[in-house]
Chain A
Amino acid sequence: MSWIKEGELSLLEKISANILKAGPMPKHVAFIMDGNRRFARKKNMERQEGHMQGFNKLAETLRWCKHLNIPEVTVYAFSIENFKRTKDEVDGLMELAKQKFERLLEEHENLEKHGVCVRVLGDLNMLPLDLQQLIAKAVFTTRNHNKCFVNVCFAYTSRYEITNAVREMAWGVEQGLIKGSDVSEALLSECLYSNNSPNPDLLIRTSGEVRLSDFLLWQTSHSCLVFQSVLWPEYSFWNLCEAILQYQLNHKSIQKARDLHREHQALQQLEADRACVVELLQHHGNGKPVDSQRRQEALLHYTACREERVRDFLEALKHKRDSFFSDLCSESLLA
């Protein structure tokens, strides 16, 4: 079945959507699509069928988000922890993923028409090579689309993602692109797999579980969390509206908390820069006290240099990541 479901909303759905859109709307919604297996058990289906229904629900949810003007959606499709499941189930999920990405490539014209950019986040080298190649092709083909964004977390956990970001920064240090003192919260965020996306405004988990299960822990620190008891394959437009309403009710207080955090971050960066400048001046100084104007100039200069270093490093990181995908693509062409 297709990634994109065409079709308008019903009249009632349209009216409700318009009412909600009169208030603040999330620009990025993340879903933990939990409950496929419980759904399958409930309906006496095979597990695999439950996962298929789950995928169909994803396509439908993307359609609703489009009508609600929500341009970005991130979903938790497969956790690194899920490798612990039985070989049959894991193989089944890998097979389903292959089918879906193949389907995506078949639909590439439709995706272009709707401007859908598909990104896959995770430790992709844990996946079978043929799936990696399919994913790379899908990501590569849709990379310039910019109307809406679908991020699929596959072979992903947040701790692995954060660790990878730290590793990338350490790589940058080893390459001489950045210094250890350049490491900051902002830089770490830029090194995550999700660095091309803003942080999710709203995180929804279905099936009634009330935990985050190692999903986007860094990015959702100031997001609205909504736990809903409906099973994912049974998710409805009204469930989505309910979650968005929760977001709207929390909007002001979360915004306040976010702003507070941002201010605090900026202050910390300033202090870190100041500390570096003091150290530098001591090193290069000749014991004479430095006047405050000189200190201020040195601080501005240091900050500008640091920002340039960071820009160059991020450029190199982007290039490294793009090469990973394009190499996989060209490998598959040769195969």
Chain B
Amino acid sequence: MRTRMALMYSLLWRLLLILVHVNRALFSWLHVRIQSWKGRLWERAATVLLLPISLVGFPDFQNNLNHGPDANAKPITEKRTGGCRSRCLSDGKSLKKIPVHIGLLVAEEEPSYPDIANVVVWCMAVGISYVSVYDNHGVFQKNNSRLLEEIKRQQQDLMGVDGSMHSVEFLSSGSDQHQHNVVSCRPTVRVLSPDDGKQSIVHVAQQLCRSVENKERSFKDINVSMLDLLLRESKNIPDPELVVKFGPVNSTLGFLPWHIRLTEFISLPSHRNVSYEDLLGALQRYGACQQRLGQ
């Protein structure tokens, strides 16, 4: 009797998962339809129609649907130059706040370099000065020259060939960093991997312990600001105010644990064929976040 019950519950559970996946697929399809047929009325109708079916709410996705970018936002179609740049800049200025450092966390297998390069270029065009790209396999790290190529290409396509404001500082672990001030005139693109996370903290810990071994300091001297300073000296990465996560996996997957203490996390379903409007929507949602900082 008990095994029959267990079997029944197991089947019900599988059914539940199937329902959830169908629901997701439906929403995905709807999202694409909405993108191609801009209309607030259609959005509202669709949400209402599907609400009874979606008993297990997908708050993330619902939020995306409800807090989407302005209906007035015109999609960026194929390669347009010049006009795009000023459009992006004005979009950036109209945002309540933009992050100094935005982290692009790709939680998907087989990343698409052109799509990520697009997002990077849009981020810079909107006025974000430090853009980092991360995946937990370290794929971007291993192929960072390919990523740089794509970014350069997308930049030229989107912003015009004149590179005046667009000489980009491209950093990955292992490259020399002589800059100590975060806010440089040039936007910075940084490729990150899991080694920039816990392993960096461990290196600083080893550094401190070795200096204790050499009687250069006592363990009592070690405090939060010291650790923070040493981390900044070894890898000058500013704390990201915003991380946009691409993909269905709901985890930071090892992204900069020390740096993300106050980071806002906004999820997008995928980086493949992501649109400028998707990014703008995420930035608008970020603008609405209010931090009380403990108070």
Residues of A that sit less than 8 Å from B by CB? 18-23, 79-85, 157-160, 162-163, 165-171, 173-174, 179-181, 183-185, 188, 209-214, 217-218, 220-229, 242, 245-246, 248-250, 253-254, 257, 260-261, 264, 268
Those 6 A-B pairs whose CB atoms lie nearest each other, nearest first: A81-B294, A170-B219, A22-B13, A180-B210, A214-B261, A180-B209
Whether, in the assembled complex, B293 has its beta carbon less than 8 Å from a beta carbon of chain A, the answer is yes
Do B199 and A188 touch (CB < 8 A)? Answer: no
Q: DSSP class of A's interface residues: helix, strand, loop or mixed?
A: helix
Assuming the contacts A162-B227, A170-B222, asked whether A184 and B197 have C-beta atoms less than 8 A apart, the reply is no
Q: How far is the CA of A228 from the CA of B59 in the complex (A)?
A: 7
A260's partner among B10, B136, B199 (CB-CB below 8 A) is: B136
Is B77 an interface position by the 8 A CB rule?
no
Rounded to whole Å, the gap between the CB of A179 and the closest CB of chain B is 7
In the complex the two chains form, what is the Cα distance from A215 to B16 in whole Å?
32
Interface centre among B218, B255, B261 (most CB of A within 10 A): B261
Taking a contact as CB atoms under 8 Å apart, the answer to whether B20 and A249 are in contact is: yes
B13 to chain A minimum Cβ distance, whole angstroms, is 4
The residue that A217 contacts in the complex, of B12, B209, B251, B258, with Cβ under 8 A, is B258
Given contact pairs A158-B261, A169-B205, A249-B17, A257 touches B212 in the complex (Cβ within 8 A): no
CB of B166 closer than 8 Å to a CB of A: no
Contact partner, A185, options B60, B198, B218, Cβ 8 Å: B198
State the Cβ distance, A130 to closest chain B Cβ, in Å: 23
- Among A157, A169, A211, point to the contact of B209 (Cβ < 8 A): A169
Residue with the greatest number of chain B CB neighbours at <10 A, chosen from A179, A211, A242: A211
B59→A167 contact, CB < 8 A: no
Query: How many A-B pairs fall under 8 Å by CB?
Result: 175
Interface string of B200-223 (1 = CB under 8 A from A): 011011101110110000111011
Complex contact B199–A268 (CB within 8 A): yes
Residues of A within 8 A of B168 (CB): none
Which one of B40-48, B121-129, B263-271 is at the interface? B263-271
Contacts of A212 in B (CB 8 A): 260-261, 263, 265
- Chain B residues with Cβ under 8 A from A163's Cβ? 222-224, 226-227
Q: Which of B209, B224, B263 neighbours the largest number of chain A CB atoms within 10 Å of its CB?
A: B209
B252–A221 touching, CB < 8 Å = yes
B13 close to A242 (CB less than 8 A) = no
- 16 A-B pairs in the complex with CB atoms less than 8 angstroms apart: A79-B294, A158-B257, A160-B224, A168-B219, A170-B219, A170-B222, A184-B202, A185-B198, A218-B198, A221-B198, A222-B252, A222-B253, A249-B20, A250-B250, A254-B249, A254-B251
Minimum distance in angstroms from A304 CB to a CB of chain B: 21
Q: Contact between B201 and A162 (Cβ–Cβ < 8 Å)?
A: yes
| A201→B56 CA distance, assembly (Å) | 20
Q: Which of A165, A180, A227 contacts B265 (CB 8 A)?
A: A227
- Asked whether any CB of chain A lies closer than 8 Å to the CB of B32, the reply is no
Q: Is the beta-carbon distance between A223 and B251 smaller than 8 angstroms?
A: yes
Given known A-B contacts A170-B209, A181-B206, A185-B199, A224 and B222 have beta carbons under 8 A apart: no
Chain B residue at minimum C-beta to C-beta distance from A181: B206
Q: Inside 8 A of B13's CB, which chain A residues have their CB?
A: 19-20, 22-23
Q: Counting CB contacts under 8 A, is B6 at the interface?
A: yes
In angstroms, how far is the closest chain B Cβ from the Cβ of A17? 10
In the assembled complex, B39 has its CB within 8 A of some CB on chain A: no
Closest chain A residue to B217 by CB distance?
Answer: A170
Q: Point out the residue from B16, B198, B220, B250 that lies within 8 Å of A224, measured CB to CB.
A: B250
Report Cα–Cα, A20/B266, bound state, in Å.
27
Contact A19 B249, beta carbon cutoff 8 Å: no
Residues of A within 8 A of B208 (CB): 166, 170
Contact for A173 among B136, B137, B198, B219, CB less than 8 A: B219
The digit string for B13-27, where 1 denotes a CB below 8 A from any CB of A, is: 100110010000000
Please, how many angstroms separate the alpha-carbon atoms of A171 and B212 in the complex? 9
Once bound together, how far apart are the Cα atoms of A170 and B207, in whole Å?
10
A169 and B258 alpha carbons, distance in the complex (Å) = 18
Tell me which residues across on chain B come within 8 A of A209, comparing CB atoms: 289
Q: Is the CB–CB distance between B202 and A185 below 8 Å?
A: yes
Asked whether B137 lies within 8 Å of A260 as measured between CB atoms, the reply is: yes
Contact, CB under 8 Å: B209 / A173: yes
Knowing A170-B209, A254-B249 are in contact, say whether A19-B294 is a contact too (CB < 8 A).
Answer: no
